[in-house]
Amino acid sequence: MNDNLDISIVIPLYNEQESLPELTSWIDAVCEKNNFSAEIIFIDDGSTDESWKVIVDLKTNYSAIKAMRFRRNHGKSAALHIGFKEAKGDVVITMDADLQDSPDEIPELVRRIHQENFDLISGWKKKRFDPITKTLPTKLFNWAARKMSGIKLNDFNCGLKAYRKEVIENIEVQGEMHRYIPVLAKMAGFHRIGEQVVQHQARKYGTTKFGLSRFVNGMLDLITLSLVSRFERRPMHFFGTLGTFMFVASGASLLAMGILKLYRLAQGMRPGLVADDPWFYIFLTAMVLGTQLFVTGLLAELMVRQSSKKVNYSISEVLNIKE
């Protein structure tokens, strides 16, 4: 297969058998109209319906299809991680398989990557067809992500994005960090990040695969990413700072305990046992916490320097992909 492709379209999916034929036909029509040499990379995230069979059947009519199927559900980040490794196009497009992302947006995304010299363009579904129970938390998370990352995007979690190939070659999408790929790109040194208003299609088939738990997970991931972006290569700076604060608190407690004893002696009072003084327990607790934080920082530094373990995903079948 020709590795010099204009675009790679990476599509993670989970139980989307109804939408796949229409989506593939739509993408093929857009690529043909714009003379794009393209590949469509489906990553079946352990679907329990007939999605994989549908993909295999589609391959007979669409030679551009490549696909990979997980044995079980690993999540969207894992699917994107694998899809990015297989992508050969100069521009990589990601989109959801539920027909809520319009392939008609692809030509403009590609044009802006090439002509406006963006590293990454994120879609912004300005007008949404989701209920308020979904849109309101999304706005809250996008606001928090803007504040913590400094990236001025209105819709971090939009599945429709375009990347210069160098971007996906230099980021690792793990855990559930697909929500914050623009942040990962910025951490990797890609600062030309843009936004494009895209059409949000109402869901035509099936039901949403995401529940309210994703908003809690999203906030936790954002906090994790914020800390990792600052201390990934220097964890001792984080744990050591907290440890130093604990040691200062323990020293202050020891000083307070000493001053209190001297005051009691000066007043002719019995100083009492050390174990009876609450300052002693504050001193002891702060000292222990400070020591533990320093040891944790040291261990984290050792792990950063020595760990090279990569995450492996269990794949049961592949289609048109050379292993």
* Residue 139: per-residue pLDDT: 80
| Cα(78)–Cα(172) distance, integer angstroms | 10
pLDDT digits 0-9 by tens, 185-222: 988 889 999 999 998 776 677 666 555 566 666 666 66
* Mean pLDDT calculated for residue range 227-249: 79
* Residue 27: per-residue pLDDT: 96
- The pLDDT of residue 38 is above 90: yes
Among residues 43, 96, 52, 45, the alpha carbon closest in space to that of 74 is found at 45
pLDDT digits 0-9 by tens, 124-177: 988 776 666 666 777 887 888 888 888 889 888 888 999 999 999 998 887 777
When comparing pLDDT for 139 and 90, which is higher? 90
42, 17 Cβ separation under 8 angstroms? no
What is the rounded end-to-end Cα distance, in angstroms, of the chain?
Answer: 14
- The pLDDT of residue 91 is above 90: yes
- The pLDDT of residue 1 is above 50: no
- The pLDDT of residue 61 is above 80: yes
pLDDT digits 0-9 by tens, 271-307: 777 777 788 888 889 999 989 988 888 887 777 666 5
pLDDT digits 0-9 by tens, 93-131: 999 999 989 999 999 999 999 999 999 999 998 877 666
pLDDT digits 0-9 by tens, 253-280: 889 888 888 888 888 777 777 777 788 8
pTM here is 0.71
Out of 3.40.50.12780, 3.40.50.300, 2.60.120.10, 3.90.550.10, the CATH code matching 5-232 is 3.90.550.10
When comparing pLDDT for 258 and 27, which is higher? 27
Separation in Å, CA 265 to CA 6, 33, 53, 173, 191: 84, 93, 86, 63, 64
* Mean pLDDT calculated for residue range 241-251: 89
* Residue 238: per-residue pLDDT: 80
- The pLDDT of residue 246 is above 80: yes
Dihedral of the alpha carbons of 97, 63, 172, 116, in degrees to the nearest 10: -80
